[in-house]
Amino acid sequence: MKFTFVRALAALALGLALSACGGKATYDVSGTISGLTNDGMILTNNGGDDISIPAGATTFSFPHRASYGDNYDIEFKTLADGVTLAYPNHMTCVIGYNKGSAGHTININAQIVCSQATHNLGGTVIGMAGCPAVADTAPYCLTLVNGSTGGQISIAKPADGSNNTAFTFSSQVKDGDSYGVTVLGQPANMTCTVANGSGVMHTTDVGNVIVTCVPN
């Protein structure tokens, strides 16, 4: 008799639970995050149920669960202008396993991977026609250094005699980091000065560094 009574209570509890969720199983809408070092990320599921993700977070979970068969679509929230995403500052992030139907897998486990965004640093050297003739002992006219965040580039005298030449450092600069371009040793018989050589990298490439070289 006691066993029958316990079974009855268990059945009643199960029935109430199924009734509360419409008879369907429910699932956490959640996932993992790696590499998130900055604030600014807002996630949305199916265009609503938004959550803000702080810097350093490694997991997330939406407040509302998904019922069996419900579709989910986890994205970065689009802001009021309809174009800009609520994206972590100075970072690039991608989302995987973020769309589907609840119950298709045991868990809803989206994966977000973030890294610091990087951009090119470059500009123009003016006065290259006055460089010394290229020789085996001096194949380059001058060498520029990005002393703040690393990288250097050696620039040869243009073979066609051009006075101006463009340059781009091979080492990109992380979004949010400072940069500082200087001349590493002045070329023979010339003095080169740098304009627009320092600043902070933001969301686009920097290409306005001007190096002007004049004869001594």
Question: Which range has the worst mean pLDDT, 4-8, 39-43, 116-120, 187-191?
Answer: 4-8
- Among 55, 90, 116, the domain boundary falls at 116
Residue 11's CB: how many other CB atoms inside 10 A? 10
Give the total number of structural domains in the chain. 2
- pLDDT (tens digit per residue) in 75-109: 999 988 888 889 888 889 999 999 999 998 888 99
Q: Are residues 13 and 76 in the same domain?
A: yes
Tens-digit pLDDT profile for residues 153-209: 999 888 888 899 999 999 999 988 899 999 998 887 889 999 999 999 988 999 999
Q: Is 25 in the same domain as 98?
A: yes
pLDDT confidence of residue 22: 52
What pLDDT score was predicted for residue 168?
A: 96
Query: 34 with 104, same domain?
Result: yes
Residue 122 has pLDDT above 70, yes or no: yes
pLDDT at position 81:
87
Give the domain extent around 151: 118-215
Give yes or no: residues 133 and 104 share one domain: no
Same domain for 125 and 110, yes or no, is no
Domain co-membership, 72 together with 147: no
Among 70, 92, 116, the domain-final residue is 116
pLDDT score recorded for residue 9: 37
23 shares its domain with 128: no
What string of DSSP letters covers the chain? -HHHHHHHHHHHHHHHHHHHTTT--EE-EEEEEES--SS-EEEEETTEEEEEE-TT--EEE-SSPEETT-EEEEEEPB-TTSS-B---TTEEEEEES-EEETTSSSSEEEEEEEEE-EE-EEEEEE-GGGSPPPBTTB--SEEEEETTT--EEEEPPPTT--SEEEEE-SS-EETT-EEEEEESSPPTTEEEEEES-EEE--SS-EEEEEEEEEE-
Specify whether 108 is located in the same domain as 210.
Answer: no
CATH of the domain at 208: 2.60.40
Residue-wise pLDDT tens digits, 29-75: 999 999 999 999 999 999 989 999 999 999 999 999 999 999 999 99
41 and 105 part of one domain: yes
- With 90 as the cut, is the pLDDT of residue 135 above it? no
Q: Tell me: do 7 and 108 sit in the same domain.
A: yes
> What is the pLDDT averaged over residues 1-5?
40
Domain boundary among 100, 116, 132: 116
